[in-house]
């Protein structure tokens, strides 16, 4: 298996623009997680899905953030409009019943 | 709610010496504990886990961790450090609510000098 796949790996955009981050989980994993990592706040859980259904989005910072999982092999995290304080590394992770999560390589987002 | 504490922001050790990265946890019920490593510009990689059984858990790259229930600790150890072990290490505890969420510590930077 190729592991968790994220795209793009790097994204540079201007404030106010829409940003879409993509994730393909490991085949057969029924949980998918979106995290954000910054120096100031560390690793934060934004939202997670079980069997494509959002379970808890309490970590989503504000309404500018949204996430979808239209099928078992694809998820998106969208920021609209983007702001400089959204600059961070965004990780996607997936797991099955073995408990450990498998992380993608991350998307480094820079909003200018 | 569960929590994880990594009391050291950074650990410095010379190559060849033993290393310990500390972690304490708080969770209701039986703990499921994990260690992850993050190399620069990479995602987190799973190292090892404790679910049940032997208190000494062995994982990838020669790392091991000791579960101590009375001290609520799960310290990461390696008998002989390598320069290539230099990375950011995260301890995590699983939520016992029924979903597979993990609560992560803030991370400890391990620096191994030649």
Task: From chain B, pick out residues whose CB is under 8 angstroms from the CB of A43.
Answer: 44, 90, 104, 107
Those residues whose C-beta lies under 8 Å from the C-beta of residue B87, and which sit 6 or more positions away, are B37, B38, B39, B40, B109, B110
d(CA B9, CA B44): 17
pLDDT above 90: residue B63: yes
For residues B43 and B11, give the distance between their C-alpha atoms in angstroms, rounded to a whole number.
21
Residue whose token pair is 């504000």? A62
pLDDT higher than 70, residue A103: yes
Hey, which residues does A110 pair with through a beta bridge? A12
Q: What is the pLDDT of residue A97?
A: 72
Mutate to test the interface with B, among A43, A53, A96 (most CBs of B within 10 A): A43
Query: Which residue in A has a C-alpha nearest to residue B90's C-alpha?
Result: A43
User: Are A27 and A102 in contact, with CB atoms under 8 Å apart?
Assistant: no
CA distance A42 to chain B (A): 6
DSSP A45-97: EEEEEETTEEEE-TT--STTEEEEEEETTEEEEEESS--GGG-EEEEEEEE-T
**Is the pLDDT confidence value at B98 over 70?**
no
Phi, psi of A74 (to 5 degrees): -155, 140
User: Mind listing the pLDDT tens digit for each residue in A39-58?
Assistant: 888 899 999 999 999 999 99
Q: What is the pLDDT of residues A59-90, one digit of tens each?
A: 998 899 999 999 999 999 999 999 999 999 99
User: Bigger pLDDT: B97 or A82?
Assistant: A82
d(CA B111, CA B114): 10
Q: How confident is the model at residue B29 (pLDDT cuts 50, 70, 90)?
A: confident
The rounded distance, in Å, linking the Cα atoms of B53 and B57 is: 9
Residue B101 pLDDT grade (very low, low, confident, very high; cuts 50, 70, 90) = confident
A100 pLDDT tier (thresholds 50, 70, 90): confident
Per-residue pLDDT of B71-94, as tens digits, reads 999 999 999 999 999 999 999 998
Within 13 A of A47's CA, how many CA atoms are on the CB side? 19
Terminal Cα-to-Cα distance of chain A (whole angstroms): 36
Per the listing, tokens 């859980």 go with A45
Looking at the complex, report in whole angstroms how far the Cα of residue B75 sits from the nearest Cα belonging to chain A.
Answer: 18
Q: Could you tell me whether strands A107-111 and A10-13 are parallel, antiparallel, or unpaired per DSSP bridges?
A: parallel
Whether the pLDDT of residue B52 is over 70: the answer is: yes
């Amino acid at each position: 298996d190729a592991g968790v796949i994220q795209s793009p790996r790097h994204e540079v955009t201007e404030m106010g623009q829409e940003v879409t981050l993509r994730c393909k989980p490991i085949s057969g994993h029924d949980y998918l997680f979106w995290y954000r990592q910054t120096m100031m706040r560390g690793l934060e859980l934004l939202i997670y899905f079980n069997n494509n259904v959002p379970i808890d989005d309490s970590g989503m910072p504000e309404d500018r953030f949204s996430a979808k999982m239209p099928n078992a092999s694809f998820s998106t995290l969208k920021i609209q409009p983007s702001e400089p304080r959204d600059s961070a590394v965004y990780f996607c992770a997936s797991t099955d019943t073995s408990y450990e999560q498998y992380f993608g390589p991350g998307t480094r987002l820079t909003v200018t | 709610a569960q929590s994880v504490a990594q009391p050291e922001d950074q650990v410095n050790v010379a190559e060849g010496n033993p290393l310990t990265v500390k972690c304490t946890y708080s969770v209701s019920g039986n703990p499921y504990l994990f260690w992850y490593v993050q190399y620069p510009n990479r995602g987190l990689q799973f190292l090892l886990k404790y679910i049940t059984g032997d208190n000494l858990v062995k994982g990838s790259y020669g790392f091991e961790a000791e579960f101590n229930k009375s001290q609520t600790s799960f310290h990461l150890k390696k008998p002989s450090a390598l320069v290539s072990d230099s990375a950011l290490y995260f301890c995590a505890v699983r939520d016992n609510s029924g979903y597979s969420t993990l609560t992560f510590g803030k991370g400890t930077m391990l620096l191994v000098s030649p």
